[in-house]
Amino acid sequence: MMAVSPDPVAATCPLPLAETERVLLGHGSGGQLMAELLAELGPRMGAPTVEDAALVTTGTPQVVMSTDAFVVTPRFFPGGDIGSLAVHGTVNDLAMRGAAPLALSVAFIVEESLPLDELRRVTSSIARAARACGVPVVTGDTKVVGRGAADGLYVTTTGIGVSLPGAEPSATRGRPGDVVLLSGPIGLHGVTILGTREGLGFDSELVSDCRPLHRLVAAMIAAAGPAVHVLRDPTRGGLASALNELAAASAVGVVVEEDAVPVPAQVAAACDLLGLDPLHVANEGCLVAFVAPDRAEEVLAVMRGLDEGAQATRIGTVVAGHPGRVVMRTLVGSTRVVDMLVGEQLPRIC
Amino acid sequence: MMAVSPDPVAATCPLPLAETERVLLGHGSGGQLMAELLAELGPRMGAPTVEDAALVTTGTPQVVMSTDAFVVTPRFFPGGDIGSLAVHGTVNDLAMRGAAPLALSVAFIVEESLPLDELRRVTSSIARAARACGVPVVTGDTKVVGRGAADGLYVTTTGIGVSLPGAEPSATRGRPGDVVLLSGPIGLHGVTILGTREGLGFDSELVSDCRPLHRLVAAMIAAAGPAVHVLRDPTRGGLASALNELAAASAVGVVVEEDAVPVPAQVAAACDLLGLDPLHVANEGCLVAFVAPDRAEEVLAVMRGLDEGAQATRIGTVVAGHPGRVVMRTLVGSTRVVDMLVGEQLPRIC
C-alpha cells in the first residue's frame, strides 16, 4: 500500500497572509475559521460559545435564549424563505437546549428600494411559520440603510423558551458509549440554496429541509429525559462541523459509520458535480443526538413516529478514544478523520 | 399680523409617487412613515407596535423582551460606538417597560474585509457596556456577507428582563393631569452623529448622550411604583415623535412648554445651521415620563439625585383635549402643533 501524505496547502485552504487581519467570508462559515473567531470574541463579551442557546436563570422554569442573523441568498427558495428559515432556525436552537419556544423577536435591516411587497411576503411568512410553531412574535425593530449598504433584507430573530421537564441536553454531556442518532437525510438545504442561487437547474425535486424540530425534541425528551445527553442541529458547516464541535465540547471521540449516513441521491449527485462533501453542507431540518445506549432504541422509535423524524437512524457511537476527534468508518472498512469545514464552502446559506 | 399659510409641499417632504411601493430611508426614521409601515407589518406578524419591549408570560416575575438592530454610521463617535449604543439601547427599551435587564444576546452581520481589530474593539465595547449595566451577554451569532453587501458592521441586540416590583409603565397608561417629565437635555446624540459623519467641525464639546437608564427607572419605580404611568426614550424621531406616539397610544393630548424643554446651546446652533428641529433629533440617554400629578415632585427629586437625571425637569402636562395631539406653548404665548417626523431626517442615527 502506498502511503499518501496529504498536501497540507490543499488541505487547509490557505488564506493570503495579507488578509488574515480582515474578516473573511470563511469567518461566517460555521467551520474552523469561525470557531477560532468566536473563541476569541466570545470570551471578550463573557459569552459562552459551545452552545447556540443560553440558559438564563429567572427562577422556575428556566428561561433559554438564542439569537441568529439570517442573510440567506436568494431570499426565496424551494422549501422556504428567509422568514420561515429565521423562525425555524431560532425555534430549533432553543429546542437543541431542550426548550419549548415561548416568544420570538424579529429585527429587520432593509436596503432602501426593496420592494415593499417583498417585505410583506417575508413578514407574512414569519407570521405563518411562527403560528405553525405555536410561538408568538412579541416585539421587533426595523432599520433602513441606503442603497448598496445591505443586500435587500437581513432578518435577526431571537427566541426565548422554557426548559422542558427533564431536559438537560448540552454540548458537554456526550459520554463514551452514547449512541449517535440523526433525525433525517443531510445536505438538502445547502444544495437547494446553491442550486437556486446559481441557476444550476438541478433536479427540480431538490427542496430545503427547513422545518421546526421542537416537537421532535419534546417527544424525545418526554421519552428519555436526561438520557438525551446532546442535541445539535447541523446547520452551517454541516454534520461534520457539528460532530467536531460536540466531540470537542464533551472531550470524547465520535465514530460514524459511512454507510449509515443518509445522503439523498440528488444531494450526492449535486455534491459530486460541485466538489462538495455532503458532510459539510448545511441542513435546516435535522438534528443529531447523543443518547445513553440503554435508551437509544426507545428514542429512535419515538423519533420515527413523527414526520420530521420518519427517517431517523443510528449513525455512530461516542467513544473514549481520540477525544475531540470525529472518525468515519468507510464502506471498505478503513477509517478517515472527518474535519471541520475550514474556510467557506457556501456563503450566505442561512 | 400677517397670516402665513404653510407651504404643504415643504411641510410634508413629498415622496416621488413611483417610489411609494419601495422601501424608503424614511421608513426607518422613527417618524410617521415608519409608523405607517409598522402599523401594516406588525399586525401581519401578530406583534403589537406601540411599545419597544414586550411582556412575556412565564410566571412570576414577568419576563420582558426587546430587540433592536443598530446600523449607526460612523461606528465610533464622541460618547460611544455601535457596541455601547447597542447595549444601552436595548437596556433602555427594557427599562421603559419597567424591567431590570437580565440577559442580552448579540448578533453581528459583518461585511467581508472589515478589519478584525474593529470587530474586536466593538466586541470589547459591548463587554464593557454590558458589565457596567450589570447584565451578561449570554449568546450570540456572527454572519459574514460579501463586500458591498453590508456597510462594515451591523449589530442586533436582544434583551430580556424582569419586571420591577410595582412597575406598570405602558404607552397606553397616560391620563389627563399627568405631569410630563424629561430626564435631560435633548438632541445631543443626533447632532453628534451628524457632525461626526459629515466632518462639520461643530463645537468639539458635542458628545452623544448614549447611556443606560435602567438605574434611573429603578429609582423612579421604587419611589412611585404604578404612579409612573408612561416611560419612553425618545430615540429615532426625537421627542416630538415619542410624544405623538404616546398621545396616540393613550388617547390623550400633550401640552409642552417650549421654554421648559432643555436644548443645549450647541445643539440649538447646529440645528439652526442644518435646518433641523431639535424636537425631531434622536436621543440615546434621556427619557420622558408621564407621572400622576400627586407623585411628580417626588419622582423629579429622585431623578435629580442620579447623574443621568441631574437635569431632569417638568416640560408639560397631559390633557383630555385634542387626544392624539401634541401642542407646544411657545415663548410668545401662542401654541403650535408638534408633528411626528414625516420622512427621514438623519438616516442611520442608531
**Residue-wise pLDDT tens digits, B152-191:** 999 999 999 999 999 999 999 999 999 999 999 999 999 9
Q: Who among A44, A103, A162 is closest to B123 (CB)?
A: A44
Q: Does the beta-carbon distance from A123 to B56 stay under 8 Å? A: no
Retrieve residue B96's grid coordinates.
421603559
Mutate to test the interface with A, among B71, B105, B125, B126 (most CBs of A within 10 A): B105
Distance from CA of A132 to the nearest CA of B (A): 12
Q: Does the beta-carbon distance from A69 to B143 stay under 8 Å? A: yes
- Helix A116-133 and helix B32-45, axial crossing angle in degrees, nearest 10: 30
Retrieve residue B53's grid coordinates.
419591549
Write down the pLDDT at residue A20.
55
Mean pLDDT value across residues A232-240: 95
pLDDT in tens, A45-100: 777 667 777 877 666 678 899 999 999 999 999 999 999 999 999 999 999 999 99
pLDDT in tens, A16-53: 444 458 888 888 777 778 778 878 887 777 776 677 77
Q: Does the beta-carbon distance from B145 to A71 stay under 8 Å? A: yes
Q: Please determine, for residue A301, whether its predicted confidence score (pLDDT) is greater than 70.
A: yes
Cβ(A278)–Cβ(A192) below 8 Å: no
Lowest-confidence pick of B2-16, B106-120, B267-281: B2-16
Retrieve residue B146's grid coordinates.
460579501
- What is the C-alpha R_g of chain A? 20
pLDDT in tens, B52-80: 778 786 666 788 999 999 999 999 999 99
Cβ(B230)–Cβ(B316) below 8 Å: no
- What residues have CB less than 8 Å from A343, skipping those under 6 apart? A13, A15, A24, A25, A26, A29, A31, A33
Mean pLDDT value across residues A1-21: 42
Lowest-confidence pick of A78-92, B7-21, B288-302: B7-21
Instruction: Tell me the chain B residues in contact with residue A34 when contact means C-beta distances shorter than 8 Å.
Output: 142
Write down the pLDDT at residue A341.
77
| Backbone conformation region of residue B265, classed left if phi is above 0, alpha if psi is from -120 to 50, else beta | alpha
Res. B204 pLDDT band, cuts 50 70 90: low
* Bridging pattern class, strands B228-232 and B288-291: antiparallel
Retrieve residue A166's grid coordinates.
427533564
Distance from CA of A252 to the nearest CA of B (A): 24
Mean pLDDT value across residues B295-302: 98
CA angle A281, B153, A346 (to 5 degrees): 15
Q: Where are the domains of chain A?
A: 53-163, 179-337
Q: Please determine, for residue A333, whether its predicted confidence score (pLDDT) is greater than 70.
A: yes
Average pLDDT over chain B, rounded to whole? 89
Retrieve residue A83's grid coordinates.
422568514
Mutate to test the interface with A, among B20, B138, B147, B160 (most CBs of A within 10 A): B138
Q: Does the beta-carbon distance from A34 to B142 stay under 8 Å? A: yes
Q: Who among A44, A68, A113 is closest to B120 (CB)?
A: A44
Retrieve residue A46's grid coordinates.
463573557
Q: Who among A38, A61, A71 is closest to B143 (CB)?
A: A71
The CATH number of domain B52-163, selected from 3.90.1150.10, 2.40.37.10, 3.40.50.300, 3.30.1330.10: 3.30.1330.10
Q: Does the beta-carbon distance from A139 to B106 stay under 8 Å? A: no
Q: Does the beta-carbon distance from A28 to B60 stay under 8 Å? A: no
Average pLDDT over chain A, rounded to whole? 89
Rounded Cα distance, B167 and B230, in Å: 10
Rounded Cα distance, A70 and A77, in Å: 14
Q: Encode burial over B294-320: b for 16+ CB neighbours within 10 A, e otherwise.
A: ebbeebbebbeebebbeebbebbbbbe
pLDDT in tens, B86-129: 999 999 999 999 999 999 999 999 999 999 999 999 999 999 99
- CATH class of segment(s) A53-163: alpha beta
Q: What is the CATH number of domain A179-337?
A: 3.90.650.10
With CA atoms as reference, the chain A residue closest to B56 would be: A103
Retrieve residue A98's grid coordinates.
431542550
What are the helix (H) ranges across chain A? 8-12, 32-45, 82-96, 116-133, 188-198, 214-224, 238-250, 265-274, 296-304
Distance from CA of B310 to the nearest CA of A (A): 30
Write down the pLDDT at residue A70.
97
- Residue B265, phi then psi, degrees to nearest 5: -55, -40
Rounded Cα distance, A148 and A138, in Å: 30
Cβ(B226)–Cβ(B164) below 8 Å: no
